[in-house]
């Protein structure tokens, strides 16, 4: 007798962004040549007063420089996007500018000034984080211990809680390279180019932006995993993967040294079980990761709830 099984229909798709994602929609005009925002100096910083020292990185149509303010000798990071860059890049830059104007938190990278040049070039002057990113620290110093991870997690969760609840902002690209750190081991959230401001409580947030390796299951397949979806839970999943990578030394869904491709990642994230920690970790750490890496978004803890978890509270 032939056994006939019902074939499950997977509704995997890359949803098109809504209209607000496809066209720039900003109520604020472009900033003047120099804007000061909670600056330690008594006067605005001018672009002509900045001396470029070295290139810190490239990407997404722009270059980030380490610069020195000639008048005060203070160091900053200066993100410059050329006027002839791709429209998508400039749209992301405008989104980042809008968010940086709104935010003021010790857990979010601070913007000191924004410059618009006559050529169309746009620059963002931000605080300089001298240790680079968490990825830089992982490569130079090796994997993170549990106490060190708890210290990192507490700061990132404070930043996410501030963004989610104070400003209704979903970052959508939390990963080791977007978390900056300084010599005091202060960790700050950066790079808001693909973030979304939730203007209304029921705004959808399932557009396909961000780094797919750290995307939550509901970002790939919202119909299956997006029950009671509020958008903010996707940042928690990304944080969980980030912390596990810092502990294990490699991306959790793949063996060490394997380079991810889109199909492999999609199958692992949507059809596989969430990654688990190796033997020997504390019960608090394992419990914390399980709270972050629930496949159903509605079962994940919020940033505010995770700040009460024993893993981040025990060493305070």
Over residues 260-306, the pLDDT tens digits come to 777 888 888 888 899 999 999 999 999 999 999 999 888 999 999 99
How does residue 127 score in pLDDT terms, banded at 50, 70 and 90?
Answer: very high
Distance CA 134, CA 116 (A): 30
How does residue 250 score in pLDDT terms, banded at 50, 70 and 90?
Answer: very high
* Per-residue CA distances from 81 to 58, 63, 232 (Å): 10, 7, 29
Distance CA 230, CA 270 (A): 19
Return residue ranges of the chain for CATH 1.10.510.10.
134-313
Whether the predicted pLDDT of 11 surpasses 60: no
Distance CA 284, CA 247 (A): 14
Over residues 21-35, the pLDDT tens digits come to 444 443 333 444 444
Whether the predicted pLDDT of 36 surpasses 50: no
Distance CA 203, CA 205 (A): 6
Return residue ranges of the chain for CATH 3.30.200.20.
19-127
Whether the predicted pLDDT of 60 surpasses 60: yes
Mean pLDDT for the chain overall: 82
Closest CA to 130 of 53, 38, 194: 53
Predicted pLDDT at 196? 64
Predicted pLDDT at 198? 54
Instruction: Based on the residue annotation, tell me whether 203 is a catalytic residue of this protein.
Output: no
Please state whether beta strands 179-181 and 50-59 pair in parallel, antiparallel, or not at all (unpaired): unpaired
pTM over 0.85: no
How does residue 257 score in pLDDT terms, banded at 50, 70 and 90?
Answer: confident
More confident residue, 21 or 307: 307
Q: 3-state secondary structure string, 85-101? A: CCHHHHHHHHHHHHHHH
Tell the CATH superfamily of the 134-313 domain: Transferase(Phosphotransferase) domain 1 (1.10.510.10)
Predicted pLDDT at 228? 60
Q: At 128, list the tokens.
A: 């300089």
Predicted pLDDT at 61? 66
DSSP, collapsed to helix, strand or coil, labels residue 270 as helix
CB atoms under 10 Å from CB of 176, counted, come to: 21
How does residue 243 score in pLDDT terms, banded at 50, 70 and 90?
Answer: very high
CATH architecture of the region 19-127: 2-Layer Sandwich (3.30)
Catalytic residue among 84, 173, 203, 221: 173
Distance CA 273, CA 59 (A): 32
């Amino acid at each position: 007798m032939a056994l006939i099984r019902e074939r499950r229909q997977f509704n995997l798709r890359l949803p098109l962004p809504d209209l607000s994602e496809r066209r720039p929609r900003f109520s604020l005009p472009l900033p003047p040549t120099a804007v000061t925002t909670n600056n330690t100096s008594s006067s605005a910083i001018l672009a002509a007063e900045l001396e470029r020292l070295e290139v810190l990185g490239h990407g997404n149509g722009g270059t980030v420089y380490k610069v020195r303010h000639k008048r005060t000798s203070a160091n900053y990071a200066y993100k410059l996007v050329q006027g002839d860059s791709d429209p998508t890049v400039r749209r992301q830059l405008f989104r980042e500018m809008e968010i940086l104007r709104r935010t003021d938190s010790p857990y979010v990278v601070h913007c000191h000034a924004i410059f618009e040049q006559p050529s169309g070039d746009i620059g963002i002057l931000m605080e300089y984080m001298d240790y680079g990113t968490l990825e830089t620290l992982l490569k130079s110093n090796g994997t993170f211990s549990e106490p060190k991870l708890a210290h990192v997690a507490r700061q990132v969760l404070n930043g996410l809680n501030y963004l989610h609840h104070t400003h209704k902002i979903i970052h959508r690209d939390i990963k080791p390279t977007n978390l900056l750190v300084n010599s005091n081991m202060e960790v700050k959230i950066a790079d808001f180019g693909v973030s979304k401001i939730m203007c209304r409580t029921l705004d959808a947030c399932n557009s396909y932006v961000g780094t797919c390796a750290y995307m939550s299951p509901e970002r790939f397949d919202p119909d299956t995993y997006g029950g009671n979806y509020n958008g903010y839970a996707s940042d928690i999943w990304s944080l969980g993967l980030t912390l596990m990578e810092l502990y294990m030394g490699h991306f959790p869904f793949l063996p060490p040294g394997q380079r991810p491709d889109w199909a492999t990642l999609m199958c692992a994230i949507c059809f596989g079980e969430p990654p688990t920690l190796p033997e020997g970790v504390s019960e608090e750490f394992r419990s914390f990761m399980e709270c972050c890496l629930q496949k159903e978004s509605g079962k994940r803890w919020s940033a505010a709830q995770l700040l009460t978890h024993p893993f981040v509270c025990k060493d305070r």
